[in-house]
Amino acid sequence: MGYDLTGLIGAPGILRPGVAAVPGARVVGLDAGLALVPLTGPVLAAVRAAGGPEDAGPLPGFHQLTPAVARWAAGLSAAGPVLYAEAEFFGGSGSQAAIGWRDGQVWFGPLRTRTPDEDREGFAVAAGPGLRGMAINAGLRRLGVPTPPDGEPWMDEFWTVGLSRQRSTDDWA
């Protein structure tokens, strides 16, 4: 079974004002006082349409993060930290990439990690038990999500905020 996620994560009050101007965008509540803006195809298209031709392709090491999406996230971060996160997994193998902004400046990352059996050039092998060393978990810790106590390997920051509730970005929309 696969998993894919592309979204912005931050406090609901930080994300809501910027979402109102983007057709199809919505803020979905997570746990630990955070929220997610699922970056579905239509939402990404709307954000990219506001940019120019230089915004067409993704930034190096990312699948969906274009300059227009990065500018939007950086603008939202004037009110507080915003994390861009993308993940792709299938059968336990996969990769994550994350970058965060605060006050309009990069404040976290970019960080790109992969499982040991995933072959992605430019991505570091995640360190730590289970998936705790993955990029999104590191970004969530930076947002203040506490590291869960030792237990099952799947108990990590990703699980703590509830990102495991859906299997794809479109399922959050």
Specify if 120 maps to a domain.
Answer: yes
pLDDT of residue 27: 97
Note the residue count of the chain: 173
Domain that holds residue 20: 2-165
Residues in contact with 121: Cβ distance below 8 Å, sequence separation at least 6, in sequence order: none
Specify if 172 maps to a domain.
Answer: no
Q: Do 91 and 73 meet the contact criterion of CB atoms below 8 Å apart?
A: no
How many folded domains does the chain comprise? 1
Specify if 171 maps to a domain.
Answer: no
pLDDT tens track of the chain, all 173 residues? Answer: 688 999 999 999 999 999 998 999 999 999 999 999 999 999 999 998 877 777 678 898 899 999 999 999 999 999 999 999 999 988 777 889 999 999 999 999 999 988 777 777 666 676 665 567 789 999 999 999 987 776 666 678 988 999 989 989 999 98
Specify if 63 maps to a domain.
Answer: yes
Specify if 170 maps to a domain.
Answer: no
- Apex 40 CA angle, 158 and 115, nearest 5: 40
User: Residue 118: what residue type?
Assistant: E
Computed from CA positions of residues 5, 136, 143, 146, in that sequence, does the dihedral angle turn out positive or negative? Answer: positive
CA distance 13 to 53: 31
Specify if 173 maps to a domain.
Answer: no
- Tell me, yes or no, if the pTM score tops 0.85: yes
Output the six-digit token pair for 26: 């919505």
CA distance 85 to 39: 10
pLDDT of residue 89: 87
